[in-house]
Structure 1
């Protein structure tokens, strides 16, 4: 296979994994909207209290360990990969059985810390998700190490599709049967486990098709085994932390919001409902950062390869372009959501409760996008420890700020601490990225022009939204939906035209984007002919 074929194979595999991950992210964000419509804010509260534990297990089996294992398999020169896989399967199984046992046993203590002992059963159900991590990680790591991305992508999509379908089917059935919200939440977590089980079956079918058996042909020494497992756990957990930054912030809120609201004098039931209202923002935050995530995934191996080739110019170009894209898209999503949050809230969740808090939370889309992209850049440069340290520091920062702001400002305070924490990670990451690449001196970001475009977009969107609401007096969900969608489309058009008119995008940058030649013809008709 020549160099060109290898490069094509590399990009094809990367795009397959990125496409699957994008689909998974969108589906994961979308289903919580109908779930809230069916189960209500209290039902969403129950599910979101335990969701971070599932999200961590999911990330470990999807991002963390498969990436580390694929590297081990691809670098194997003595054809000992089956021995490696067997050893890691036994090691990971032992570790995660312990994790399962601890989480299952300490569920009452965690529920007590959340100020809700009724969460014990949903938490115990979530603990089972860690039992699937070893096999999923080893199987996906094996296929990715052999540059076969199909099984990983198909298993991810199948897992998420079954999970979402099971969650919604079980929720509709139980709510119609009059079940309480805690049973509904437990069933929703069970839906996630069903998805993981399907993913296991899919991977087993691929392994059997290739006649692969994970078995040992020799014995690794205890020293080598401990060294391998230490490296695997350290690297896998580090990668996972960068992938679940927002879920870690959700975990802090799960532990602090209800007790904090209760401390402010709110009744326990009202505090739980308010937490559910606050959790409405999580799908919006996840959808807002999904583009940055989709860009970040293929960025890691590309920058790593550029660093290996010592092609620093290419690193600077793609680092600058990805950060610029995250800034432009993340800024638009954050500002746009803040302007249309009231009709969006009514359209998606039937009422406008908590719109102020959700509008504040939307600002985290900008900083979250920059944090995710910059973390991927640092990971590609081999500096994974930096974003891990920054994210863990941000978790502590959020916990400290919640203690002060929650009793005073309620869920708006929790939203503000998320914004501050994501901004902290983004700023720290960007400082390190600049020190390593000098990207802000090499690349131009036209920040002033982008901010001017955001202001113009906000003005146009706000005027259209207010004009629509002036003539529409019913305040129905359909009317709110039209106002939200039409305002966002108008805002996007104004923003795009402004960016083009102010020359924020360079000709060569647009060419590098997907379908770049078509975009140039549409946006820069005259310039394309001059540059042609």
Structure 2
């Protein structure tokens, strides 16, 4: 796969993921108004345990599918690439079925063990069967990604999010009027199941329609002895288990929050409903907004694994280094302005999206800085996976998780900090994991990052952006009000950031290609001398 194809794939996944996340935000806005912060807390509690089961059953295998498929496609063996997909699909169906049955059958046990609010039961039931459909969906996504066809994943993300919004919100509105907030939280939670069903249906239909194309490529592949099924399973699990463990550790961070944070808030003097409300503000308001830029790192990481794996398979060390350097620079170009923008305009953004006087801005102002470290951790983890170093990021993430647990335990119980202590723990935990991952990538690839280009120039541009958004908002808010002033400040801040990057040479044609409309602007900006290629 050429660098152009890699960038195009990352861009397609990035656009699809961002649009899907915006649909998610517009799901949370009316949801917050119908069920309030306590309802958001009930809705939020099951998600870490749900993600934990997904991590075990489906997170690692799609990565393994894309890696093994891309390696076989790189040498023209489409026959074995398709066999990898079929074996993996069967595995995912089994894992997804088991995960869903555990969530459904042991829901009350899970609530009791983790000391959740009793009314969480409905939300847990609503999401119980989502893992089965996500498993099916993930198998097809992994296959298409391994073939370097990224559009199906992007479209399925949009379909999944759209169905989640329509069905989840519809059930919420009906149930809150007919029964109450706990049942409405369950209806909202069922939206995830409905979305996974819709996304799976789309990918199955698309695969069926493209079956002639796939079979033609298979017939054109050289005939030979097929790999044994056991060997394929071993190859998949060899990659999937470490990748899944990494995701399990990430999910455990969330589970730790759901179990520890409410308890430590109790030590700080908050009752069970107040704890649920604070947890809802952090996980369903602040974290929802933080997740928007994080989707770009996930898209980039998804594209990085097969891209780096292909370069490794072809023994092209220089291309491996180029793709890693480009991935790190691109992440920082996205993460730094996202963190500063969300932090500087935290209260205005919360009030814009969730309503005047809504709480959560103070949490967002701190949690927003986790964007930089989570994005770096995720991207560097994918790089190590592509290099075949799958155990190292697990150890590093576990070290970060241990620090997060300790920080949460002490800081959340301080009344003046309360839930903000968990945000600080997230920043420090992922900061440690990111540093350790970068050190490992540098050791195995011997990359030499251009500090000026990668860090200094983006920081200069982002500081100019931060000053701009503050001054613009403070000047306009008394005149135009919060909503319009916030939107204008965001748009002008993004424009200033982009212009500053161009003026100081902080962006190259490779990074420009990832931006919407970047390919059309590149020739123009290069011709007038304000955009350069990587030296």
Question: TM-score normalised by the shorter chain: which range applies?
Answer: 0.7 to 0.9
Q: Does 1:429 align with 2:440?
A: no
Query: Which of residues 352, 362, 365 in structure 2 aligns to 1:356?
Result: 362
Could you tell me how far apart the structure 1 residues matched to 2:532 and 2:80 are?
57
Check the 8 A contact 1:53/1:126 in 2, yes or no: no
Are the structure 2 counterparts of residues 115 and 66 from structure 1 closer, same or farther at C-alpha, using a change threshold of 3 Å?
closer
Q: Which residue pairs with 2:456 in the alignment? A: 448
Could you tell me how far apart the structure 2 residues matched to 1:115 and 1:325 are?
39
Could you tell me how far apart the structure 2 residues matched to 1:468 and 1:155 are?
40
Q: Which residue pairs with 1:488 in the alignment? A: 490
Could you tell me how far apart the structure 2 residues matched to 1:312 and 1:71 are?
17
1:15-94 paired onto structure 2 within 5 Å: 20-55=16-51, 64-69=60-65, 75=72, 91-94=91-94
Deviation, structure 1 residue 119: 1.6
Q: Which residue pairs with 2:331 in the alignment? A: 326
Are the structure 2 counterparts of residues 164 and 78 from structure 1 closer, same or farther at C-alpha, using a change threshold of 3 Å?
closer
Q: Which residue pairs with 2:161 in the alignment? A: 160
Q: Which residue pairs with 1:389 in the alignment? A: 395
Are the structure 2 counterparts of residues 179 and 440 from structure 1 closer, same or farther at C-alpha, using a change threshold of 3 Å?
farther
Q: Which residue pairs with 1:303 in the alignment? A: 308
Could you tell me how far apart the structure 2 residues matched to 1:527 and 1:80 are?
47
Residue range with higher mean Cα deviation, 485-494 or 91-100: 91-100
**Which runs of 5 or more residues in structure 1 are unaligned?**
214-223, 473-477
Q: Which residue pairs with 2:471 in the alignment? A: 463
Could you tell me how far apart the structure 2 residues matched to 1:22 and 1:480 are?
24
Q: Which residue pairs with 1:525 in the alignment? A: 528
Residue range with higher mean Cα deviation, 441-450 or 319-328: 441-450
Q: Determine helix, strand or coil for the equivalent of 1:382.
A: coil
Deviation, structure 1 residue 404: 1.1
Check the 8 A contact 1:320/1:443 in 2, yes or no: no
Check the 8 A contact 2:402/2:429 in 1, yes or no: no
1:497-512 paired onto structure 2 within 5 Å: 497-506=499-508, 510=512
Deviation, structure 1 residue 105: 4.1
Check the 8 A contact 1:36/1:349 in 2, yes or no: yes
Q: Determine helix, strand or coil for the equivalent of 2:398.
A: helix
Residue range with higher mean Cα deviation, 284-293 or 8-17: 8-17
Could you tell me how far apart the structure 1 residues matched to 2:275 and 2:407 are?
19
Are the structure 2 counterparts of residues 133 and 336 from structure 1 closer, same or farther at C-alpha, using a change threshold of 3 Å?
closer
Q: Determine helix, strand or coil for the equivalent of 1:383.
A: coil
Are the structure 2 counterparts of residues 73 and 494 from structure 1 closer, same or farther at C-alpha, using a change threshold of 3 Å?
closer
Check the 8 A contact 1:33/1:283 in 2, yes or no: no
Are the structure 2 counterparts of residues 230 and 106 from structure 1 closer, same or farther at C-alpha, using a change threshold of 3 Å?
farther
Q: Which residue pairs with 2:222 in the alignment? A: none
Check the 8 A contact 2:58/2:92 in 1, yes or no: no
Are the structure 2 counterparts of residues 456 and 382 from structure 1 closer, same or farther at C-alpha, using a change threshold of 3 Å?
same
Check the 8 A contact 1:317/1:443 in 2, yes or no: no
Could you tell me how far apart the structure 1 residues matched to 2:194 and 2:513 are?
43
Residue range with higher mean Cα deviation, 419-428 or 60-69: 60-69
Deviation, structure 1 residue 290: 2.6
Are the structure 2 counterparts of residues 146 and 110 from structure 1 closer, same or farther at C-alpha, using a change threshold of 3 Å?
same
Q: Determine helix, strand or coil for the equivalent of 1:407.
A: coil
Q: Which residue pairs with 2:220 in the alignment? A: none
Could you tell me how far apart the structure 2 residues matched to 1:46 and 1:486 are?
34
Q: Does 1:515 align with 2:518?
A: yes
Q: Which residue pairs with 1:216 in the alignment? A: none
Residue range with higher mean Cα deviation, 83-92 or 338-347: 83-92
Task: Kindly provide the CA deviation profile for residues 210-238 of structure 1, in whole angstroms up to 9, marking residues without a partner as x.
Answer: 4999xxxxxxxxxx766654553453354
Check the 8 A contact 1:252/1:395 in 2, yes or no: no
Q: Does 1:289 align with 2:325?
A: no
Q: RMSD of aligned C-alpha atoms?
A: 3.8
Q: Which residue pairs with 2:199 in the alignment? A: 199
Could you tell me how far apart the structure 2 residues matched to 1:425 and 1:60 are?
21
Q: Determine helix, strand or coil for the equivalent of 1:289.
A: helix
Q: Determine helix, strand or coil for the equivalent of 2:481.
A: helix
Deviation, structure 1 residue 171: 1.5
Task: Kindly provide the CA deviation profile for residues 29-85 of structure 1, in whole angstroms up to 9, marking residues without a partner as x.
Answer: 542233223322112111111123444566778753234345556749796888876
Could you tell me how far apart the structure 2 residues matched to 1:97 and 1:124 are?
15
Are the structure 2 counterparts of residues 313 and 85 from structure 1 closer, same or farther at C-alpha, using a change threshold of 3 Å?
closer
Q: Does 1:335 align with 2:307?
A: no
Could you tell me how far apart the structure 2 residues matched to 1:207 and 1:512 are?
27
Could you tell me how far apart the structure 1 residues matched to 2:153 and 2:508 are?
36
Q: Which residue pairs with 2:239 in the alignment? A: 235
Could you tell me how far apart the structure 1 residues matched to 2:481 and 2:78 are?
65
Deviation, structure 1 residue 204: 4.3
Task: Kindly provide the CA deviation profile for residues 456-477 of structure 1, in whole angstroms up to 9, marking residues without a partner as x.
Answer: 32223222222234x34xxxxx
Are the structure 2 counterparts of residues 488 and 520 from structure 1 closer, same or farther at C-alpha, using a change threshold of 3 Å?
farther
Aligned length in residues: 510
Check the 8 A contact 2:363/2:420 in 1, yes or no: yes
| TM-score (structure 2 length as normaliser) | 0.82
Could you tell me how far apart the structure 1 residues matched to 2:408 and 2:375 are?
22
Could you tell me how far apart the structure 2 residues matched to 1:450 and 1:11 are?
20
Residue range with higher mean Cα deviation, 31-40 or 267-276: 31-40
